[in-house]
Chains A and B, each alone.
Chain A
Amino acid sequence: MKPVKKRIGLIVNPIAGIGGRVGLKGSDGREALRKARELGGKPESPKRAKEALLRMASIKHELDILTYPHEMGEDEARECGFEPIVIGSIKKGETTSEDTKSAARDMAEARVDALLFAGGDGTARDIYDAIGGRLPVIGIPAGVKIHSAVFAINAQSAGDLVMMFLREPAELWEAEVMDVDEEAFRRGLLSTKLYGYLKIPYQDRLFQGPKRGSIAGERSSMNGIAEYFAEEIEDDYLYIVGPGTTTRAIHERLGLPKTLLGVDVIRDRQIVASDVNENQILRLVCDKKAKILVTPIGGQGFIFGRGNQQISPDVIKKVGKEHVIVVATGHKMASLGGRPLLVDTGDDETDDMLSGYIRVITGYRQELVYRVGLGKCF
């Protein structure tokens, strides 16, 4: 029989955030972890997880928490007065990303109603690798790297989100999972890559920003953007289309498939090439007229340099700033809270060219004039 109580899975990545205060760029990998410990780093995640759990204290008898042993959730839950159902096994003090993955798989297997996890981008990515979009997730931001859009604004908000999720059914929404692009990292560039999408319960204010909106409103904005684009699209131009759910909506409107995580090229309303890399783009553009269509990726508002690096400085310079089209729903723009859109292409000249003001299409014949800043420091 189906349990009457709702069940929430809890995963704490016990080392998330350890590198932050000591100046490391994350705690993925044993070497980084050792270094962080040596430098006296302390994980943020147990504290953040407890902040979220305490927020849920008033309903602790109305839900069951399913979690992994010791520092992966059990300790935090008990300290906050919950009596969790503990599953799985770990080597205490020596957990790795494999433990996060198996915990996520076990919880999906146990069919929890939602998965609450404390960690950073690496944790989100592990969960994505393990279970994809099988469960609604709510991220407690506790890591050094928080580029993904699956995290609540803060730990308390994550707790509030669970409360709301239990109180009334929520619609689910795709949110980006981003992490450091290791390939680029090895080449000495710090840059993030779009890995995929996890499903989050739609509650705009606690997830992405302060604007009240709705999932229906969000879809209708995307449809408006797509309709507008379909009207304005010019023949004879190559359109280099970056990743994202908003650009996917445009492809859907044109009846074309979209590589959600990659760059596609279209011309005369037809696909010319799918999932292209920088060289392929440069070869296609050659001396043809081209435009670039991008949408901000991740929670920080990057339009270039995060998740769409295939559209390289050379491509951008060739196409020209006047042919860069940015699309984003008004909700997404409002969620930036007044911060500028960001560019970090890896080339100062290109970044300077793109900075200043740019038009952003936010709906059917609706545009914003918005500031673009340099994203190097992020």
Chain B
Amino acid sequence: MRNERSLLKQNYHAAAWNEPIIMQMGRKGERGILVPEAEEEIKEVVGDVLSRIPTDLRRTEPPKLPEISQPQVVRHFLRLSQMCLGTDLNIDIGQGTCTMKYSPKVNEYLARLPDISELHPLQDEETVQGILEIIYKFAGFLSEISGMDKFTFQPGGGAQAIYTNACIIRAYHAARGESQRDEIITTLFSHPADAATPATAGFKVITLMPDENGYPDLEALKAAVSKRTAGMMITNPEDTGIYNPRVREYVDIVHEAGGLCSYDQANANGILGICRAKEAGFDMCHFNLHKTFSSPHGCSGPGCGAVGVRDYLEKFLPVPVVEFDGEKYHIVYERPFSIGKVRSFLGNIPVVLRAYAWVMSLGPDGIRDVAEVSVINNNYLAKKLSQVSGIGMSYPKAKCRLDQIRYSWEQLRRETGVGTEDVRRRVVDFGVQSYFESHHPWVVPEPFTPEPTETYSKDDIDEYAEILRYISQEAYVSPDTVKNAPHKSTITRIDERILNDPKKWAMTWRAYLNKRHSWDSQGQ
């Protein structure tokens, strides 16, 4: 029998090194590595390389890099790593829609083998037959999983994959002489990239609001379609975790109007091996290999948004594509109808390799288990959270909840003044990441969206639910403890309003210095 102990990590405290930014460290002239002078013989063979750099490209003064010794650099980055909570370090249930799951270490080992890490994208195809085979076969797996006919792995992430699909929709209508079709329909609870990327591709974006049960308003769709409809780009299940079982009807309405339908399956965890984009009538889809297929997110990459299309859209896929002639694999660029490139070469190959290894280790039954276990986990967490005061479920009447649910702390906020942002700051005191609330706009008040994927054990889920239960109780008894959180973390609070103020952003150290100068002069 397990030891009876509190589920909460009451003694947790995050590392708080108060580490400066590396640009503020070190001293002038300090060096991490002293590069040895080249030997005379080498100099003779190589000659004067520097004089070949055109004068107008030469720096007149060296770049302002940090000047700092090696031990300090190592210490600095180890400290930073201690102040981060990654998926290998915490119960990452709070990051709903991100599909945080365990990335088996053996797959990481494979991806780091020199056979992979030393491949060059410009190598002759004769010398890379092995990896081309993996790419080709993995595309076959995804065809089986989705029903689509052909895949590309070129997009480096989900949004880029959706953008690729928007470009394919544009190319399809242009090829048919129907460029007046300039409207893409999406839904409010689809991922925001389903609105943002078609806008980038030049489309107008028409959004459908949810009906009273959280489903996209079908009547609004009927009112929205016209001769200007280029297509519909949606997720299902949506952000709320609600699966729309009538999705085929929506697809049919758009098809009748002459549009294409693109299925955002970045997160396919709840339906993997159970239902397919093809049978729902979609013309194209995409999967995030760094979500559903277990490759790590890697702090914004490298990722891969695998795009799949039906046979009648194959010719529009980005170049190059991998073809197999029965004996050899080929990298093919000559495709006159292609939308071109959205990124260079064949994509982030190590990501494809990890996903391939993950699928091979599971097999078809294992793939289906992933979906079933994640749905069971989600329902178990829902049951636990239904016993927590102050939590409500968005659209409680919607029956089909799959792998995640958008909850609301609205009742807690009404009764105690403690809202979702307060709880979000408080959870980190128990050694888990601050959670994901919702994409914008916040239609569900005081939202949060946990997603307990197949990775998490019953104990993990119990611990996570206990953290939320404890904080809810705290909100009723001593709300200020929650409002002033975190108490045990690396940093205390940040003013989130600056996130919306471009004047307060700095993408580089130089921009920071410039902007700080102007703040100072304005007396801010």
Contacts and interface: CB of A to CB of B under 8 A. Distances in A.
Contact of B500 (A217, A337, A365): A217
Contacts of B441: 211-213, 330-331, 334
A156 B500 contact: no
A225 B234 CA distance: 24
Nearest to A361: B204
Nearest to B501: A216
Given A210-B443, A210-B444, A356-B223, A367 B500 contact: no
Nearest to B221: A369
Contacts, number: 87
A338 B210 contact: yes
Given A210-B443, A216-B502, A370-B209, A160 B417 contact: yes
A366 interface: yes
A213 B440 CA distance: 8
Interface string B440-451: 111111100000
Given A334-B441, A365-B204, A370 B497 contact: no
A95 interface: no
Interface string B181-217: 0000000000000010001000111111110100001
Contacts of B480: 58
A211 B204 contact: no
How many of chain B's residues touch chain A, expressed as a range? 35 or more
Contact of B217 (A331, A364, A371): A371
Contact of A359 (B206, B210, B212, B437): B206
Contacts of B223: 356-357, 369
A60 interface: no
Contact of B417 (A55, A337, A369): A55
A334 B443 contact: yes
Nearest to A214: B500
B414 A156 contact: yes
A357 B220 contact: yes
A374 interface: no
Contacts of A112: none
A367 B208 CA distance: 9
A233 B459 CA distance: 60
B495 interface: yes
Contacts of A213: 440-441, 500
A217 B199 CA distance: 18
A366 B440 contact: no
Nearest to A168: B495
A337 B395 CA distance: 12
A211 B437 CA distance: 12
Given A210-B410, A216-B500, A334-B442, 13 more contacts: A211-B442, A212-B441, A213-B440, A216-B502, A217-B500, A357-B220, A365-B205, A366-B205, A367-B207, A368-B207, A368-B209, A369-B206, A369-B224
Top-3 shortest CB links A-B = A214-B500, A210-B445, A357-B223
Interface of B: 195, 199, 203-210, 212, 217, 219-221, 223-224, 410, 414, 417, 419, 437, 440-446, 480, 495, 497, 499-502
